[in-house]
Structure 1
Amino acid sequence: MRDIVKTFGGVTALGGVSLDLLPGEVLCVAGENGSGKSTLIKIISGAERPDSGEIVVDGTTFTSMDTTDAIKSGIQVIYQDFSLFPNLTVAENIMFTTAVGARRKLYNARATRPAAEQIVSDLGLALDLDATVETLSVADKQLTAICRALVQDARVIIMDEPTTALTHSEVARLFAIVEGQRARGVAFIFVSHKLDEVLAISDRVTVLRSGAHVVTRPAAELDLRSITEHMTGLQVDDSRQVSELAPDAPAVLEVEGLTLPGAFHDVSFTLRRGEILGLTGLLGSGRTEIAESLFGVHPYESGSVIVDGTPTALRSIDDAVAAGIGYVPEDRLTQGLFLEHSIADNMIASSADRLRTPWRTLDRSAIRTTIDTLFTRLRVKAPNVDAPVRSLSGGNAQRVVLAKWLARQPKVLILNGPTVGVDVGSKSEILDILRDQAADGMGVMVISDDVPELVSSCHRVLVVRHGRIVDVLEGDDVEVDSIRKKVAA
């Protein structure tokens, strides 16, 4: 990539960025949301055309490429949002780009299925090739996207946040596949906000900030703190920052004996006002099902829930919202946002019924005040509140989901993976927002497998295994090694 420039509506996304990639190398491209990483990837893959600059593949120069050029040049991308067809099967999704690259007009399952079966077998995965993608978990969607990239004889594989929904064992398996491909001369561009993974897999690290190249250095010469400082220009404090809870702090959520056969059993815990409570476990442990049941998505069959002293039957999402429970879902793009609508529309999507005049008409003044206050308070980086949510980076999109619920002022806010796909600077700011909400008396529940994040922000951490809460860590026990040992036990 030579001096790549790209602007959107007068905003410079890339201001003359250059990088090189060698056969068999893993190059990490790091940077905050909005730094230009995703734009650079889209240009390499042919999804966007640069305003100026060149792409050179084995001595062949392109001023721009389309997606077919990229595929024919051996470039494959695993996008952060997967870019899968929800109505097609796993096998069809895996083989789709192969068919596009070969310019086939019809899909032949008999001819292509063996290749899909082979890559799934090579990765040691238990994917149902006949399942439609829309029925898959986030983790299985991620694995399908990885299979699609690896099934072809790729020469360059770009991975944009490929491990966000994978367990530690699945990440280790993926890295083993990467090592095998590297031995064949395949080069990788690895984009991740999980900086420990960056250092574990990369040969070199390139850091972007605000569309400009900051530094490229061997990974062995960097550590977590130095990468963070290059990304943000600041020193980010990731130490444990937990407020002191009053001994008599009242319960805002009491869960007793909650059971949903096949998902979780006999789940009991208490969340107090001002507390941030962590919930963790391996993917498939039941942690997400517990959260979704409390939000009425999949109602529990037995047990009891008390919200702020009032017994509550949570049989639907409407019941949960009426009781004062908000939920930030795991997949913000398909479950948490109206992508084609503006930031403003999304911010008041759950609270319009509360922003009315005594005559039940919408209170335009109250709506505008709410939107402007949240836009400023959450520091959403966008030209204005009328910008479509689809145009936002991952970190800013997550802030809008948060704003949607903060506008409603819930008593309990449940967040499933609140900083997945979010850069270190935005992660720190989002955790500070949660701390502020807890300090104002809200009960906050965080579902996450980001152990340092849990340690940094949570008063207590519950460990879920096979649908049951098996450990409760508090005080000095809330530390990285203790949590990881309990989760892996």
Structure 2
Amino acid sequence: MGTPLLVAEDISISFGGIRALKGVDLTVEEGQIVCLAGENGCGKSTLVKIVSGVYTPSTGTISIGGDSFNALKPRQAIAEGVQVIYQDLSLFDHLSVAENIAINRLIHDGSVLSNRAEVQRIAAEQLERIGIDLDLDAPVSELSVANKQIVAICRALSMDARILFMDEPTTALTTNEVKRLLAIVLDLKKRGMAVVFISHKLDEVFEIADKITIFRDGSKVGDFTASELDEVSLSFHMTGREIVYNRYHRTRTEDQPLLEVRELSRADNYEDISFTVRPGDILGLTGLLGAGRTEIALSLFGLNRPDSGTILIDGKTAAITNPWDALDYGIALLPEDRKTQGLFGQQSVKTNITSTMLDRLLTPMRMISGRKEDALATELVHSMNVNNKDISVLVDNLSGGNQQKVVLGKWIGTEPRILILDSPTVGIDIGSKSEIYAKIHDLAADGIGIIFISDEPEEIVANCNRVLVMHEGSMITSLEEEDLRADGIKERLAEIISDPDSFAGTNSGARVQGEQA
């Protein structure tokens, strides 16, 4: 047993009469990585905000390095060595790498004016500490998400962090970037830092966790070593039910394409892209971030006009110059970033989920009928199994999984023939993820053609009957359903995605098979 650095005991808190945490405990030792696991809304982030001084608990005590508190203020938590890296990273895009790393240190030290040499020294010292080289003068806005994550870590280290909380740090990272980040976290552990890691990606949890603390519905289920659990048992403890991701297999017999893309190109986005989507197809588009997947999706939805090539719907050339054209052709797009592109955060669930179908809500006087709006919203909320059935609640107050159900529901309500899903389960817990997968499979079984964009091999293999792998705007290989049934295909696909250069130069019709091939 190591030395306890953080001990939180009997922590409770309520919001609006609802108990968000119910007498939970958490112990974190020096040089230990603890993974907090649980569905969205289970209380993980609430506990983090209590330890970091954002929230005041109604009961309980917090001990850090032997100092005991009934509640902490943010400055006290920072002084005790608590640092939190949230999902949005909270960086200043207009400032440089060095300025972002040093700014909290300068504010904490009471500096009125910044000294460039001191800023550079602080930043260089922290980057050297984790063995990473970044251009100190580069604007943070120009960095990849992975390097922004590095800047956030260095900013925390500059504050003499003893315990580092990381909330979904790998959500927008590629496979190789995840590996680099996890290596940094493991190195911090070797140096004696305690890390509390929150992730919905169970493979990451098992890779780095010394201890897994599981929450469900505001209560702690228990503490486990990683060796005590597997993905099935961890999922069960998190949700209280068995979670199974069923593989999708196309059963439709129609071979006439709903959608055909011929030699589509757009400068600096993608080049010479061709594929078809039939009724019942779930076509996976995968590859590293920046491969051109999202750019193709936007082009099909009229938001990123191609320079050349042809799009055909039902065998006829389609002129798609804006989203209204796409909708007329029966194309719907669930965007990559639900918060900024898919939702009106400060509007109700009702407003959001009916926003694509306003023409169905009009009275003869061309006014929106409140009765029709309520009825349609209630129908969609129930069909999507949104946990909160109150259609008047602000959509920002829902968990990530329920927000995504609202976004998906508003497009399903348009009765699309072709549905494009761009990273549909990012930042979503395993329970909501399984429900969304099942819904997607049902839609495909009903004859909708689906394009499923993801960089997670497990997700692609579970949900797609055909797959295209992209790299730097080009298709480098394709897989058909028989390929996806081969032993070891998930691992093989992961290799292709993480090391695309080994497949560069193969023609777009090339196929790769698993170990049985």
- Give the TM-score range, shorter chain: over 0.9
Query: Unaligned regions of 5+ residues in structure 1, if any?
Result: none
Partner of 1:481: 491
Task: State the distance in 2 between where 1:131 and 1:144 align.
Answer: 11
Matches within 5 A, 1:228-243: 228-243=235-250
Q: 1:370 to 1:173 in 2, by over 3 A?
A: same
Q: Deviations over 1:37-73 (max 9, x none)?
A: 1111111222222222111111112222222222221
1:26 aligns with 2:33: yes
Q: Secondary structure at the match of 1:379?
A: coil
Aligned residue identity for 2:139: A
Q: Secondary structure at the match of 1:403?
A: helix
1:376 aligns with 2:382: yes
Aligned residue identity for 2:375: T
Q: CA deviation at 1:195?
A: 0.6
Task: State the distance in 2 between where 1:276 and 1:20 align.
Answer: 44
Q: CA deviation at 1:127?
A: 6.6
Q: 1:263 to 1:439 in 2, by over 3 A?
A: same
Partner of 2:340: 334
Q: 1:288 to 1:359 in 2, by over 3 A?
A: same
Root mean square deviation of aligned Cα: 2.3
1:214 aligns with 2:221: yes
Matches within 5 A, 1:402-441: 402-441=408-447
Task: State the distance in 2 between where 1:67 and 1:311 align.
Answer: 59
Aligned residue identity for 1:482: R
Q: 1:4 to 1:295 in 2, by over 3 A?
A: same
Aligned residue identity for 1:438: A
Partner of 1:131: 139
Partner of 2:122: 115
Matches within 5 A, 1:184-195: 184-195=191-202
Partner of 1:304: 310
Task: State the distance in 2 between where 1:440 and 1:350 align.
Answer: 21
Task: State the distance in 1 between where 2:152 and 2:324 align.
Answer: 34
TM-score of the pair, normalised by structure 2: 0.88
Which protein has the larger Cα radius of gyration, Structure 1 or Structure 2?
A: 2
Task: State the distance in 1 between where 2:332 and 2:135 align.
Answer: 32
Task: State the distance in 1 between where 2:219 and 2:120 align.
Answer: 43
Task: State the distance in 1 between where 2:397 and 2:249 align.
Answer: 34
Q: CA deviation at 1:126?
A: 5.5
Of stretches 426-435 and 144-153 in structure 1, the one that deviates more from structure 2 is: 144-153
Aligned residue identity for 1:362: I
Aligned residue identity for 2:323: I
Partner of 1:388: 394
Partner of 1:224: 231
Task: State the distance in 1 between where 2:119 and 2:479 align.
Answer: 49
Q: CA deviation at 1:383?
A: 6.0
Q: Secondary structure at the match of 1:382?
A: coil
Aligned residue identity for 1:49: T
1:320 aligns with 2:326: yes
Q: Could you tell me which of 42, 50, 55 is aligned with 2:49?
A: 42
Matches within 5 A, 1:355-370: 355-370=361-376
Of stretches 15-24 and 325-334 in structure 1, the one that deviates more from structure 2 is: 325-334
Q: Could you tell me which of 79, 82, 87 is aligned with 1:80?
A: 87
Q: CA deviation at 1:249?
A: 3.9
Q: CA deviation at 1:146?
A: 3.7
Task: State the distance in 2 between where 1:258 and 1:373 align.
Answer: 38
Q: Secondary structure at the match of 1:345?
A: helix
Contact 1:273 1:438 in 2 (8 A): yes
Q: Deviations over 1:268-307 (max 9, x none)?
A: 1111122211111012222222222222333211111123
Partner of 1:17: 24
Partner of 1:263: 269
1:145 aligns with 2:152: yes
Contact 1:146 1:162 in 2 (8 A): no
Q: CA deviation at 1:313?
A: 2.9
Contact 1:280 1:461 in 2 (8 A): yes
Of stretches 233-242 and 214-223 in structure 1, the one that deviates more from structure 2 is: 233-242
Task: State the distance in 1 between where 2:153 and 2:356 align.
Answer: 35
Q: CA deviation at 1:17?
A: 0.7
Task: State the distance in 2 between where 1:114 and 1:251 align.
Answer: 60
Aligned residue identity for 1:174: L
Contact 1:329 1:335 in 2 (8 A): yes
Task: State the distance in 2 between where 1:147 and 1:258 align.
Answer: 42
Contact 2:382 2:389 in 1 (8 A): no
Q: CA deviation at 1:111?
A: 2.7
Q: Could you tell me which of 452, 456, 467 is aligned with 1:461?
A: 467
Task: State the distance in 1 between where 2:327 and 2:98 align.
Answer: 38
1:57 aligns with 2:64: yes
Q: 1:465 to 1:435 in 2, by over 3 A?
A: same
TM-score of the pair, normalised by structure 1: 0.93
Q: 1:274 to 1:358 in 2, by over 3 A?
A: farther
Task: State the distance in 2 between where 1:89 and 1:350 align.
Answer: 40
Q: Secondary structure at the match of 1:291?
A: helix
Identity in percent: 44
Q: 1:304 to 1:118 in 2, by over 3 A?
A: farther
Task: State the distance in 2 between where 1:296 and 1:94 align.
Answer: 39
Contact 2:257 2:276 in 1 (8 A): yes
Task: State the distance in 1 between where 2:99 and 2:456 align.
Answer: 32
Contact 1:142 1:165 in 2 (8 A): no
Q: 1:116 to 1:294 in 2, by over 3 A?
A: farther
Task: State the distance in 1 between where 2:481 and 2:432 align.
Answer: 26
Q: 1:141 to 1:306 in 2, by over 3 A?
A: farther
Contact 1:68 1:100 in 2 (8 A): no
Q: 1:383 to 1:75 in 2, by over 3 A?
A: farther
Q: CA deviation at 1:357?
A: 3.2
Q: Secondary structure at the match of 1:19?
A: strand
Q: Deviations over 1:453-473 (max 9, x none)?
A: 111111111100121111111
Q: Secondary structure at the match of 1:21?
A: strand
Contact 1:72 1:101 in 2 (8 A): no
Q: 1:128 to 1:262 in 2, by over 3 A?
A: farther
Of stretches 183-192 and 120-129 in structure 1, the one that deviates more from structure 2 is: 120-129
Q: Secondary structure at the match of 1:251?
A: coil
Of stretches 311-320 and 402-411 in structure 1, the one that deviates more from structure 2 is: 311-320
Contact 2:34 2:210 in 1 (8 A): yes
Partner of 2:458: 452
Partner of 1:156: 163
Q: 1:383 to 1:374 in 2, by over 3 A?
A: closer
Task: State the distance in 1 between where 2:120 and 2:471 align.
Answer: 35
Partner of 1:398: 404
Q: 1:361 to 1:89 in 2, by over 3 A?
A: farther
Q: 1:71 to 1:278 in 2, by over 3 A?
A: same
Q: Which structure 1 residue ranges, 4+ long, deviate > 6 Å from structure 2?
A: none
Q: Could you tell me which of 257, 260, 270 is aligned with 1:254?
A: 260
